[in-house]
Amino acid sequence: MQILNYTEAHHQYRKRLRDFLSNEVTPYVDQWENDRIVPKSIWQRMGAEGFLCPCISTDYGGMGGDFLYAVIVAEEIARTNHTGLSAPLHSDVVVPYIDAFANEEQKKKYLPGCVSGDIVTAVAMTEPDAGSDLAGLSTTAEEDGDEIVINGSKTFISNGIISDLVIVAAKDPAIDNPYQGVSLYLVEDGTPGFKRGRHLDKMGFWSQDTAELFFTNCRIPKTNLMGEKGQGFYMLMQKLQQERLVTAIAAQAAAELILEWTTDYCKSHTDASDKPISKNQAVLFEIVEMTTEVKLGRTFIDKLIMEHMAGENVVIETSMAKYWCTDLSKRVSQKSLDLHADFGLTEECPIARGFRDLRVMPIFAGTNEIMKQIAGKFMGL
């Protein structure tokens, strides 16, 4: 019995997306991993097929779908076993800020391009000295006539190289209260004073371009303020729930894929006694234990998706899911790598890439330690 009510339209969308990814993405993943970036053209092909921003209204070029379409995209992209084509980050983390808080003029200017893939987005919160602590931002934004002058730096910004539009969190230095001084600004590629730094070389997420961003007397028009001035912290807090849920969904799907590969490998390969590896009691126990945990994770995630779609306050549960599912994916990848023995150490083995990529998931979107603190706070602990 399924918890989520997928319609025939959802199933057809998933099939069409899976076929698209099989033909247009998977054959090129190894090259993109070597290049450390995906080409802009694949974003545009994704957009042309309706696989970007599926929840955006038809008024701005979207399909006006429900959140289940976003779930489908997150799950199917996770099954490609690469992270470079970070459509869920763009569609379900960054663009929702524009959809929810931008004015009508800004929406008309940017949302159609976000849907088509002509505009790839990023959100710049993390700084060298401020990661999960948003109140510790040091990037400043000061008014100067009809312009805003931004100064500061950001780091570990996903889509940092390829992005055409960046939502930048910056504070008014005249306001001491960090929760009332942060605002969000729209900064376009090519704006004077906006430069990209290093394309960071990472242990995993090879094809996901992660970069430093620098703002030196970067001048943008006042009209590029998104939402109300001083409300940036609260806007970020409002949307972080969905970001953490999307992260948990991707981690859950990745754990399921790795377990599927590992189970098939252990059933089809033999040990020294010429019996399937899965017949070894220790291996059997490992697979059963992992399968149990993965099934528990799926039940938790699906119930949480349903509650999120119903507009319920699930801050506690989302924080729990983000830390538990990302830890689950890390555990499953570690154990699966062990079960593949020497083969697991080769790049030919897909588990190797999954192991590298999943290691960072407990860290981004708020570290898992922060997730526990948030849950504990709202539990009254």
Q: What are the tens digits of pLDDT across the range 52-66? A: 999 999 999 999 999
What pLDDT sits at residue 240?
A: 87
The angle that helices 67-78 and 232-268 make with each other, rounded to 10 degrees, is 50
Report helix, strand or coil for 363.
coil
**pLDDT tens digits for 322-372?**
999 999 999 999 999 999 988 988 988 999 999 999 999 999 888 999 999
Contacts of the segment 281-289: beta carbons below 8 A, 24+ positions apart: 283/339, 286/335, 286/339, 287/259, 287/262, 287/263, 287/339
Average pLDDT value for the chain: 95
Structure tokens at 119: 């505009």
Taking residues 9-26, what's their average pLDDT? Answer: 98
Domain 234-378: CATH superfamily, name plus number: Butyryl-CoA Dehydrogenase, subunit A, domain 3 (1.20.140.10)
What pLDDT sits at residue 237?
A: 86
What pLDDT sits at residue 190?
A: 96
What pLDDT sits at residue 273?
A: 87
Distance CA 94, CA 107 (A): 13
What pLDDT sits at residue 29?
A: 97
| Helical ranges in 269-349 per DSSP H | 281-309, 315-339
Taking residues 312-330, what's their average pLDDT? Answer: 97
Pair 165, 219: CB distance under 8 Å: no
Lowest mean pLDDT among 103-117, 119-133, 346-360: 119-133
What pLDDT sits at residue 180?
A: 87
Checking if the pLDDT of 178 tops 80, the result is no
Structure tokens at 44: 């545009």
Structure tokens at 340: 């593949």
Report the 10 Å Cβ neighbour count for 201: 8
Burial code (b: 16+ CB inside 10 Å, e: under 16) for 301-327 equals bbebbbebeeeeebbebbbbbbbbbbb
243 catalytically annotated? yes
Q: Is the dihedral of CA 41, 45, 48, 54 positive or negative?
A: negative
Given pLDDT bands bounded at 50, 70 and 90, which one contains residue 226? very high
| Helical ranges in 3-103 per DSSP H | 8-24, 29-35, 40-48, 67-78, 87-88, 95-101
**pLDDT tens digits for 142-168?**
999 999 999 999 999 999 999 999 999
Distance CA 361, CA 197 (A): 23
Distance CA 126, CA 156 (A): 7
Structure tokens at 173: 């230095």
DSSP E strand boundaries for 189-321: 194-199, 210-221, 225-226
Phi, psi of 162 (to 5 degrees): -85, -15
Kindly report the length of the chain: 381
Structure tokens at 201: 């070389």
Checking if the pLDDT of 286 tops 70, the result is yes
Taking residues 109-123, what's their average pLDDT? Answer: 98
Domain boundaries, the chain: 8-119, 123-229, 234-378
| CATH code of the domain made up of 8-119 | 1.10.540.10
Does 3.30.1490.20 match the CATH number of domain 123-229?
no
pTM, two decimals, is 0.94
What pLDDT sits at residue 228?
A: 94
Checking if the pLDDT of 130 tops 80, the result is no
What pLDDT sits at residue 271?
A: 86
Pair 185, 226: CB distance under 8 Å: yes
Checking if the pLDDT of 1 tops 90, the result is no
Nearest partner of 178 among 208, 140, 204, 131, judged by Cα? 140
**DSSP character string of 140-207:** EEEEETTEEEEEEEEEEEETTTT-SEEEEEEE-TT---TTTSEEEEEEETT-TTEEEEEE---SS-TT
Checking if the pLDDT of 132 tops 70, the result is no
* Residue showing tokens 């942060």: 182
Amino acid at 77: I
Kindly name the residue from 75, 127, 243, 317 that is annotated as catalytic: 243
Report strand pairing: 140-144 vs 147-158: antiparallel
